[in-house]
Structure 1
């Protein structure tokens, strides 16, 4: 049985018009229930739920304006569409002021009416979803700062919970802005090392000489400004977690020293002669495809496998469904509190735009968008006008508009290659995630792309494939 477009309470005192509306709406996928007076309709609303109400304005007894006011006061969640006489603008304005969602004019065009009712039903659904997600903020798992309830994120939660108490190295991958450091902090917060320090460093943010000293420490006199000895971050993270962000940017000359530290669990400070033991869990993160970096000689294969004992792939925001609204509400509350403004939620129109947008910048872009909107808004709910132009005017690509020129038709092999490339672009170049989506192992993926697999003959790759 196909899904209906929504339940509609039709309020019309004229029997023939009532029957016409019932029949027309049924044919267009709605489930109408008709009543001949506003009093009967309002009484029905006390015991049954409807997605929208369609009412005439001029009726004996309680008229449509009074019904709008009562519904707005007692059932504000139900949008009301009113039918007005042609050209009666003043009456239509009065209905909107009384709380009506929209209006249509007589004579009624049933196709146009169906579109208005569809928008009203969608409006209610979005408003209910925003309210549900606001309530869910107090219930959904947010330990360590991770916010979401989508299936894609629940899988991340499950893996974090399974490995949180382990000392095994974890490699967090995903597009820029997906929250890799947030996931690393969640690993730390949920594990047995939570009482220890969480020490983070961005491997791309400092020159090589300084990075080596930061990681491994130095002794007095090791270089010009080394007036005292200093412990490195490996030692400072004792009992806790060391987070190596953007580890794919680590210089090749430092990679052997990092590999030795991970293998031996000791570090040698710059200029020092003795090894210093450390006890820290290592979590690394990158938005690069390290398998490709290994293949191209930019990253050591043995270091890659030492870091990637457990792989944690973060989904892009566009793959997380309604988490967009959940995160938006969390950011809204944060920035509203910080700015001292009374902003309590998202309008349904804003929710619709946020769900439709592709979010190439992921969670970081959403955070920036909501911070801007809170700063600009003059209302208690964010409006479409508060959104950046790129989000407000975004239109998803329509494959139907693409050229169908026969000269552009390609072979099945070429079509497969293009589709693989499209999947790779969508998942930020991650061959691990792409192979899962395509249903093939990584060796097959590399073969189809016409590239040599970085570890086609090595044991660790076979083991990793078997594990997946």
Structure 2
């Protein structure tokens, strides 16, 4: 239905601009107009449009260059170009730039109506196709690497090289970066991908339980058991054992693990003979292992055994270009589990997400999108659906009843939130309805760290 469709008209001739706006509004479309390329960019940064109708010749820019800018801001935007000359060359140039179609001056209203109907039918099919692709993707293993940034591409190239060697690997990265996911990717790309992948939390307590999990136990060594327990290192066969946060291993188990790596054998609890193992070991840590060694918290020999093939996992702030793809993936995942029809996020939402700090990395993003899908009432996530802390609205007020201090605190939080969404100070000042000099004065007065 047209009432849900929004159209931006970018045309410097007032008569054409006004007549197009009146015609489209009469059809039920939500219409906004401008005669400036610069203002068109600002308007698209502030809200999402379904269609932009742009003149090729504008007083402050070229319509085809504007087309490319607008589609960078909103990947789902469709553009119709208005041209005074209907030539093959003009049409080819417009299509190459990314236009859906073009209109010839004087614009015929029925021609415009027909092109918009065709466009929206295509848009609906495009959205359905994208949804179906997501549905098909869910039948694949969930542990898949999402993103196309250069940082991630370099990491995947490293994984491919490391995987084929079947060597033990150490994954180093902040919490929430997806170290287990990358460990599974190494296993899947390795020579024994058909074998088991078993994960162990090295923080498991009590220590006796962790030791039994890893190395197994002979019958009678454990209360109530008369049969042997093989343990994960044996049970994995020629597969992979993932040791999550290896720095949490107690000293005694570190020594046993070193022997397992060096000699490919383990001693089960209560056993008198060693047992041969074949498993590949992938360990992970959020700590600086060399510092742990210096502080006598981690065995030096084990460190050198693990540190030989070290793969750093980048934090989310180091691969911000992957956020749009991750958002789409998590929306598909959570909308399916909740039975909701959320198809995407607005471009303003993506800007907010790309300006957040992400101390919890991909795991935090996953949780944020889960909450947003839950709160979303429409088919696209808006900034209002995100966790308040991402918008800078959750910091506690100062411990005072003084209204002036509380207002100053909120003012600071509000300016920080707008600056995160709009790093360009002129644009941020406009959003705040302040002069640029006033904004800089506020930044200095409130001690905002840029």
Asked if Structure 1 and Structure 2 have the same fold, meaning a TM-score greater than 0.5 normalized by the shorter chain, the answer is yes
Counterpart for residue 296 of structure 1: 295
For residues 434-445 of structure 1, what are the structure 2 equivalents within 5 Å?
A: none
For residues 24-173 of structure 1, what are the structure 2 equivalents within 5 Å?
A: 37-38=15-16, 55=17, 57=18, 62-66=19-23, 80-82=32-34, 124-128=71-75, 144-173=143-172
Counterpart for residue 284 of structure 1: 283
| Contact residue 255 and residue 300 of structure 1 kept, 8 A | yes
Mind listing any 5+ residue stretches in structure 1 that lack a counterpart?
1-7, 14-36, 39-54, 74-78, 84-95, 102-109, 406-468
Counterpart for residue 307 of structure 1: 306
Counterpart for residue 415 of structure 1: none
Q: Secondary structure at the match of 2:252?
A: coil
Counterpart for residue 373 of structure 2: 374
Task: List structure 1 runs of 4+ shifted beyond 6 angstroms.
Answer: 68-73, 98-101, 119-123, 129-132, 134-139, 397-400
Q: What is the alpha-carbon distance in structure 1 between the residues aligned to residue 171 and residue 315 of structure 2?
A: 13
TM-score by length of 1: 0.61
Mind listing any 5+ residue stretches in structure 2 that lack a counterpart?
1-8, 36-46, 53-58, 78-125, 393-416, 426-439
Distance 1:402 1:218, change over 3 A: farther
1:142 Cα deviation from its structure 2 partner: 9.0
Determine whether 1:11 maps to 2:42: no
Q: What is the alpha-carbon distance in structure 1 between the residues aligned to residue 305 and residue 70 of structure 2?
A: 51
Q: What is the alpha-carbon distance in structure 2 between the residues aligned to residue 192 and residue 99 of structure 1?
A: 48
Distance 1:72 1:183, change over 3 A: farther
Aligned length: 320
1:218 Cα deviation from its structure 2 partner: 0.4
1:214 Cα deviation from its structure 2 partner: 0.6
Q: CA RMSD in A?
A: 3.8
Distance 1:189 1:129, change over 3 A: farther
TM-score by length of 2: 0.63
Distance 1:209 1:392, change over 3 A: same
Q: What is the alpha-carbon distance in structure 1 between the residues aligned to residue 355 and residue 377 of structure 2?
A: 24
1:81 Cα deviation from its structure 2 partner: 3.0
Distance 1:253 1:120, change over 3 A: same
For residues 59-458 of structure 1, what are the structure 2 equivalents within 5 Å?
A: 62-66=19-23, 80-82=32-34, 124-128=71-75, 144-393=143-392, 394=417, 396=420, 401=443
Distance 1:338 1:182, change over 3 A: same
Q: Secondary structure at the match of 1:228?
A: coil
1:227 Cα deviation from its structure 2 partner: 3.3
CA deviation profile, 1:33-59 (whole Å, cap 9, x unmatched):
xxxx52xxxxxxxxxxxxxxxx4x3xx
